[in-house]
Structure 1
């Protein structure tokens, strides 16, 4: 996740809101209105061996990964978020752009609602491809690039307004609400063609897709495999 340097010390953007995040974003099947858990369960599927979550945050999805028979492990930049995560899965404080794993060492990797926190996400996809074993699976679940961003006004959910800006690759803290994350930590945006192009450029073969949320999709899920 994003970070800033304060007096020579790297400070992760989520450190200051880790306690709030733990209270607000601990998901369950009963509160899965965006279909995040459904997408992760359906696209990742059962398996064995370690499954790395990049940008694992508080480890909120570790239990679901474990239910699928896999062994969850996580990396995140934020010490504040990892304070909660280490109670749920083995973790390392690390940059997703420099993963502390050997080439071809992992059968599965997931990224859950974090790609907008990573200004260099295409490079992160390259790291995912590097650490995945041949035929290994990668599941990305993130905000929908076509309908969620600084260009989208969701204040009236019966009439969502898409303003100019979708095609602009940008970072912003502009938000229609003060109850979300973007106004607190900011978000990067890639149009759909650039996001999917990042998978292809990293050598990840696209296999399946899903969308979640209503009345307009808020999430996009992608299953890819290392070629």
Structure 2
């Protein structure tokens, strides 16, 4: 069965409302990831594949570091906006249309919760990376964001039962975000990190972003 592109139904809202509102509302996505990119991806050259590129909003900071970004996403609706920001291809991240050992860099930004088969995606990342190639995962923090985390009071985030349930949910503390519209998958922190290691990648460096509890967990791994 072909995978469903859930974001097709909300692509216009995501581009025209969610991103613009988030840019002016503290604590909402997207947050500034410039320091994360500089630290974990770093300066480089050559192609950098973004898996789940969505509307392509992360292409600019990657390009500023010297890389040549191109994006892949399942959603035609999101790619309508992305095509003006970077070269794109519509494809399933679990079956990357890219030859083995051909990419110097791959990134996945705020998408792992949208991919129920994320461990299989990581296997594909490992397959297409060159020896020594870098992979940067930037995602919602598994310990502080999810159906179990109530962030309605930004000064007192409440963590409720559910972190260990490892499930898909539309439960959300807000109706102004993405999870209540398309749902999200959750992996506890050890399972997420084990998935990277099981794909044959070596974890090298980490970062957390957000306050008072982190919103984002970022990791750099390398193909040895």
With structure 2 as the length reference, what TM-score do the two structures score? 0.93
State the number of aligned residues: 219
The answer as to 2:13 corresponding to 1:20 is: yes
The 5-angstrom pairing of residues 1-227 of structure 1 reads 11-23=4-16, 24-25=18-19, 34-227=31-224
Q: CA offsets, 1:60-118, max 9 Å, x none?
A: 01111111111101100000000011111111100000001000000000000000000
Q: CA offsets, 1:149-189, max 9 Å, x none?
A: 00111112222111111011100001010011000110000
Alpha carbons 1:35, 1:213 under 8 Å: kept? no
Q: 1:184 to 1:73 in 2, by over 3 A?
A: same
Q: Answer with 158-167 or 72-81: which moved more.
A: 158-167
Partners of 2:99 and 2:3 lie apart in 1 by: 25
With structure 1 as the length reference, what TM-score do the two structures score? 0.91
Alpha carbons 2:104, 2:129 under 8 Å: kept? yes
Alpha carbons 2:19, 2:30 under 8 Å: kept? no
Which SS does the other structure have where 2:38 is aligned? Answer: helix
| Unaligned segments of structure 2, at least 5 residues | none
Which SS does the other structure have where 1:167 is aligned? Answer: helix
Q: 1:21 to 1:33 in 2, by over 3 A?
A: closer
CA root-mean-square deviation: 1.9
| Unaligned segments of structure 1, at least 5 residues | none
Moved over 4 A (4+): none
Alpha carbons 1:34, 1:218 under 8 Å: kept? no
